[in-house]
Chains A and B, each alone.
Chain A
Amino acid sequence: MGNKQTVFAHEQLEAYQDCTFFTRKEIMRLFYRYQDLAPQLVPLDYTSCPDVKVPYELIGSMPELKDNPFRQRIAQVFSEDGDGHMTLDNFLDMFSVMSEMAPRDLKAYYAFKIYDFNNDGYICAWDLEQTVTKLTRGELSTEEVSLVCEKVLDEADGDHDGRLSLEDFQNMILRAPDFLSTFHIRI
């Protein structure tokens, strides 16, 4: 990649390598992917750390993502200010969490954050209802959704406070080790 140096300064690349679980090559690939999302917005020169965000509308309108119920939530969780607009750092973070090298706790933390729709640090019944509704694409009645949510809460709620804390969530996830072991993708 001849233009590697022109995109990032050497220090920048090193910093990215430190902050993520990626090699230099993967970072460059991800960058080009990021740049692909909005070629007119993202400059090919990042040495000056431009303050560029890819708006959520661009990400959400990708044809592959059209049917994905969680596209907005993912963008929100990983974007800095929760509005779904992603900087390059956010973008890299997102994949970093998904990489095989990322520790389980980190994965669990981000999974938890994705569930926590109202950002109050707990998964409450309302959060779960959102999840279930999204997952079922509105095919269940409200009654059914709340039944399911109640049961899910019951299953995992270790301290019986009617909502899931991060600890509850981690406990539950660690009890079935298969969950997180599948929470990877290969870039």
Chain B
Amino acid sequence: MLRAALPLFGLPLAGAAATEEPTQEPGSPGEPPAGLALFRWQWHEVEAPYLVALWILVASLAKIVFHLSRKVTSLVPESCLLILLGLVLGGIVLAVAKKAEYQLEPGTFFLFLLPPIVLDSGYFMPSRLFFDNLGAILTYAVVGTLWNAFTTGAALWGLQQAGLVAPRVQASLLDFLLFGSLISAVDPVAVLAVFEEVHVNDTLFIIVFGESLLNDAVTVVLYKVCNSFVEMGSANVQAADYLKGVASLFLVSLGGAAVGLVFAFLLALTTRFTKRVRIIEPLLVFLLAYAAYLTAEMASLSAILAVTMCGLGCKKYVEANISHKSRTAVKYTMKTLASCAETVIFMLLGISAVDSSKWAWDSGLVLGTLFFILFFRALGVVLQTWVLNQFRLVPLDKIDQVVMSYGGLRGAVAFALVILLDRTKVPAKDYFVATTIVVVFFTVIVQGLTIKPLVKWLKVKRSEHHKPTLNQELHEHTFDHILAAVEDVVGHHGYHYWRDRWEQFDKKYLSQLLMRRSAYRIRDQIWDVYYRLNIRDAISFVDQGGHILSSTGLTLPSMPSRNSVAETSVTNLLRESGSGACLDLQVIDTVRSGRDREDAVMHHLLCGGLYKPRRRYKASCSRHFISEDAQERQDKEIFQQNMKRRLESFKSTKHNICLNKSKPRPRKTSRKKKDGLANTEATNGKPPRDLGFQDTAAVILTVESESEEESDSSETEKEDDEGIIFVARATSEVLQEGKVSGSLEVCPSPRIIPPSPTCAEKELPWKSGQGDLAVYVSSETTKIVPVDMQAGWNQSISSLESLASPPCTQAPTMTRLPPCPLAAEEPQPPFDLPYDPRPSFAFPPSLAKAGRSRSESSADIPQQQELQPLMGHEDRTHLSPRAANSHWCIQFNKGGRL
């Protein structure tokens, strides 16, 4: 059939086929091309890349399978599983092909698999921690590795002399030293794989891991020196060669580091000018880092050191220069590549071990090596730690030492190096290969398996996964300065002195040179941390929001629970309100008081200042999104803000009409309200933060955005900065009313509670400022299940009412509120106007801080303006007299800001 069809296709394809033919069928050269083949099997053309892709695919699938069971991966490190998988695969290949294939080739390993891992670790290395412990790391890396290499080599030689190693292992002292040098180095890949799952404390991790990275230079030098000595023959080695060996240690390590730094500099400088070609920014990072690796490799310097230093050195400037998206791209690509490489390495290690033709077993050598590497590692660690502790401010205790000695894993580097040995020069190569394989397997599997229980059993300090806080950053800087000052006074040029000098140099020259102007402006580190905190939260917010939105309303997490009104447990309540209303489970789940406020500040800044993440949000869900230049967009947004503000005033007349739409919100929020109320009240009787203008604001906003959405969907673009605007307007309106009802100021009335948000609601802008969310969530949901929602809301209201009292009892310190408020809340008709024209509550005095002079408060205005939703914590008693004032202040500032 195929043949019959050929003539049909023959003509048009003839030309192309003719050129391809000869290359495609090398197996049958004699056979003349029998016309055009419609279907052709071209395995040989694609074989190499196809196999690579297949291997990576297999490795990734294996990873997925491993992680299907949480139990297995929590007990067994992934690296062990991969090695075992490699063994199985290798066995299959061996059985099928009758010969071992697909080994871990040293060339592939060093040129392709290792660089991504090292780059990843160097780039994401916590640089401060690294340099704080640099002394210890260098000691372990240099002295420790030398010690391990020589003692292991010498001890093995002693073992041979004692006759415990079979005589067929023909090796001299030099051979053993060579073997010792390659087997002694702690392997970064293995250490990373195992320690990442163990989560020991940062100091311990950075010491072991830093050692494994930096000892590369020592390993490379030792290996090369020993190797050349072996090749020269021990008789020909001159004294000068030893000196050269020592000199080459410095050359290789410092040279590698220098290459890395040069490339880091180039990289930073290049990214400074990529403003118009953002798209290649991630590529540049990888290319230049890889170039650093290859350059160092070419000059036989320490490539690992080079790429580590490159990553370490460029990060600060690159991160400042490249766009946020590029940063994300760099991060994920790097992690993906590293993880891929790591997976493949371990799997290939397993496969390589199957090939028994390469290795020869000698029990004495294997057991001896195992014992010696463990013993000398431990001994070396203890000795060095003892010396180091004389100088360390925070000494490494015994437990740390145990983990450090036990964490000395060997891995693929040793294996690749031993494969590279020349069999003609090193007759015992096969024995060494076997021993290395056993050592690698033992350390990765046995030690990798047991280190977690060991760490648990020894109660090693774990690393705490807390968010980086501004406090931390602030105090770190302050302490640095203080310490540097004190060191200066005493005339002691210690670590802090040099760090201080370096920072000044960096600030004065390097940053100026390597960062683009706009980046340099925000480069102050404290502000930077603040900025990052915001960005990170924005991303998590966007991720969660995007996730929920993409599930097209039907799967809104809150839907099931909304329908099942019977569920009245508090957690359920929390979950519902969290997922349904604010799309942010995380915040609800965490401890409320401090965290909320923290988040609030960030998100308010977000509302006001950060455009990109919110743009992303838009982009992901708005059909009308038009990609514009960021700068233009921001200008436009500012313009739109102004326009919006003017529109607001007359639009505010509209809410009555579309009030029904806003019902869901009051209901949900009032539920949370109680929760939040209990919370704030619990904090020693301070004025509840969550009563006030913000409440109404949220509702108004919802209404408007919905109405807008309906009237003109293209207006969604404008919804962006609702957060700021509605606050201003609501405040003004509410404040005016506040003047009217000033007599009631002491008792924040519950009358407006139903539409009012909880403390979370008011503090988290996306909850209070529903500008964005209301549009999407509500439009989606109402389109699909309007009736359902309506019913659900009605139900939930009733469930709410039944729940009203428990939170109340949790707030015993609610002294300022008469008991009636909460009770009064229930009878409040749920469909009442959220925008109650009889606000009997008091407003935050905005700017009237009790003890402040006018001038001080004016300095505070920007802050206040950002934090208005938090105003509740101000003393309400000062309110009404100043209400008018503060109102104008706000207005004024809004205007100025916009």
Interface residues of A (CB under 8 A from B): 30, 33, 36-37, 59, 62, 64-65, 67-71, 74, 94-95, 98, 100, 111, 114-115, 125-126, 128, 131-132, 135-136, 139-144, 146-152, 154-162, 172-173, 175-176, 178-179, 181-187
Neighbouring A residues of B487 by C-beta, 8 Å: 185
| Any A CB within 8 A of the CB of B820 | no
Neighbouring A residues of B526 by C-beta, 8 Å: 132, 135-136, 140, 148
User: B486 contacts A157, CB within 8 Å?
Assistant: no
Neighbouring A residues of B527 by C-beta, 8 Å: 136, 139-140, 144, 148
Contact of A176 among B394, B472, B860 (CB under 8 A): B472
Tell me which of B476, B597, B866 has the highest count of chain A C-beta atoms within 10 A of its own C-beta.
B597
Quick one: closest A residue to B492, CB to CB? A187
Q: Smallest distance from the beta carbon of A102 to chain B beta carbons, Å?
A: 12
User: B862 contacts A151, CB within 8 Å?
Assistant: no
Quick one: closest A residue to B529, CB to CB? A148
User: B489 contacts A135, CB within 8 Å?
Assistant: no
Neighbouring A residues of B55 by C-beta, 8 Å: none
| Any A CB within 8 A of the CB of B497 | yes
Neighbouring A residues of B49 by C-beta, 8 Å: none
Q: In the complex, identify which listed stretch (B171-179, B338-346, B436-444, B477-485) lies at the interface while the others stay far away.
A: B477-485
Q: Smallest distance from the beta carbon of A66 to chain B beta carbons, Å?
A: 9
| Any A CB within 8 A of the CB of B488 | yes
Quick one: closest A residue to B856, CB to CB? A126
Query: Please, how many angstroms separate the alpha-carbon atoms of A178 and B479 in the complex?
Result: 12
Neighbouring B residues of A115 by C-beta, 8 Å: 478
Q: List 20 A-B contacts (CB under 8 A).
A: A33-B489, A36-B491, A65-B488, A67-B500, A71-B485, A74-B485, A111-B479, A115-B478, A125-B860, A131-B474, A148-B527, A152-B470, A152-B471, A152-B474, A154-B601, A155-B598, A179-B475, A181-B394, A183-B479, A185-B490
| Any A CB within 8 A of the CB of B683 | yes
Interface residues of B (CB under 8 A from A): 132, 202, 391, 393-394, 466, 469-472, 474-479, 481-492, 494, 496-497, 500, 504, 521, 524, 526-527, 530, 533, 593-594, 597-598, 601-602, 605, 683-684, 686, 856, 859-860, 862-863, 866-867, 873
Query: Please, how many angstroms separate the alpha-carbon atoms of A147 and B867 in the complex?
Result: 9
A interface: dominant SS? helix
Neighbouring B residues of A126 by C-beta, 8 Å: 856
Query: Please, how many angstroms separate the alpha-carbon atoms of A159 and B680 in the complex?
Result: 11
Query: Please, how many angstroms separate the alpha-carbon atoms of A108 and B527 in the complex?
Result: 24
Quick one: closest B residue to A86, CB to CB? B489
Quick one: closest A residue to B395, CB to CB? A100
Q: Smallest distance from the beta carbon of B510 to chain A beta carbons, Å?
A: 16
Query: Please, how many angstroms separate the alpha-carbon atoms of A21 and B808 in the complex?
Result: 54
Tell me which of B466, B470, B483, B601 has the highest count of chain A C-beta atoms within 10 A of its own C-beta.
B470
Query: Please, how many angstroms separate the alpha-carbon atoms of A139 and B485 in the complex?
Result: 21
User: A154 contacts B597, CB within 8 Å?
Assistant: yes
Neighbouring A residues of B866 by C-beta, 8 Å: 143, 147, 150
User: A162 contacts B492, CB within 8 Å?
Assistant: no
Neighbouring A residues of B597 by C-beta, 8 Å: 154
Contact of A62 among B489, B524, B602, B856 (CB under 8 A): B489
Neighbouring B residues of A111 by C-beta, 8 Å: 475, 478-479, 482
Query: Please, how many angstroms separate the alpha-carbon atoms of A128 and B473 in the complex?
Result: 13
Query: Please, how many angstroms separate the alpha-carbon atoms of A167 and B180 in the complex?
Result: 55
Known: A147-B601, A148-B526, A159-B684. A142 touches B873 (CB 8 A): no
User: B530 contacts A147, CB within 8 Å?
Assistant: yes
Contact of B873 among A64, A143, A162 (CB under 8 A): A162
Given A74-B485, A143-B863, 11 further pairs, Cβ under 8 A: A30-B490, A69-B481, A94-B489, A95-B490, A131-B478, A135-B526, A150-B867, A155-B594, A179-B476, A182-B132, A186-B391
Neighbouring A residues of B482 by C-beta, 8 Å: 70, 74, 111, 114, 183
List of 7 A-B pairs having minimum Cβ-Cβ separation, nearest first = A143-B862, A146-B863, A64-B488, A154-B597, A68-B485, A184-B393, A136-B524
Query: Please, how many angstroms separate the alpha-carbon atoms of A36 and B500 in the complex?
Result: 23
User: B488 contacts A68, CB within 8 Å?
Assistant: yes
Quick one: closest B residue to A161, CB to CB? B686
Quick one: closest A residue to B593, CB to CB? A160
Query: Please, how many angstroms separate the alpha-carbon atoms of A95 and B475 in the complex?
Result: 19
Known: A147-B866, A157-B594. A62 touches B486 (CB 8 A): no
Query: Please, how many angstroms separate the alpha-carbon atoms of A52 and B482 in the complex?
Result: 24
Neighbouring A residues of B500 by C-beta, 8 Å: 67-68
Known: A114-B478, A131-B478, A162-B873. A147 touches B605 (CB 8 A): yes
Tell me which of B526, B530, B856 has the highest count of chain A C-beta atoms within 10 A of its own C-beta.
B526
Neighbouring A residues of B492 by C-beta, 8 Å: 185-187
Q: Smallest distance from the beta carbon of B392 to chain A beta carbons, Å?
A: 10
Quick one: closest B residue to A172, CB to CB? B471
Quick one: closest B residue to A140, CB to CB? B527
Query: Please, how many angstroms separate the alpha-carbon atoms of A187 and B393 in the complex?
Result: 12
Neighbouring A residues of B602 by C-beta, 8 Å: 151
Query: Please, how many angstroms separate the alpha-carbon atoms of A111 and B863 in the complex?
Result: 26
Neighbouring B residues of A37 by C-beta, 8 Å: 489
Neighbouring B residues of A182 by C-beta, 8 Å: 132, 393, 476, 479, 483
Q: Smallest distance from the beta carbon of B504 to chain A beta carbons, Å?
A: 6
Query: Please, how many angstroms separate the alpha-carbon atoms of A94 and B489 in the complex?
Result: 10
User: A139 contacts B524, CB within 8 Å?
Assistant: yes
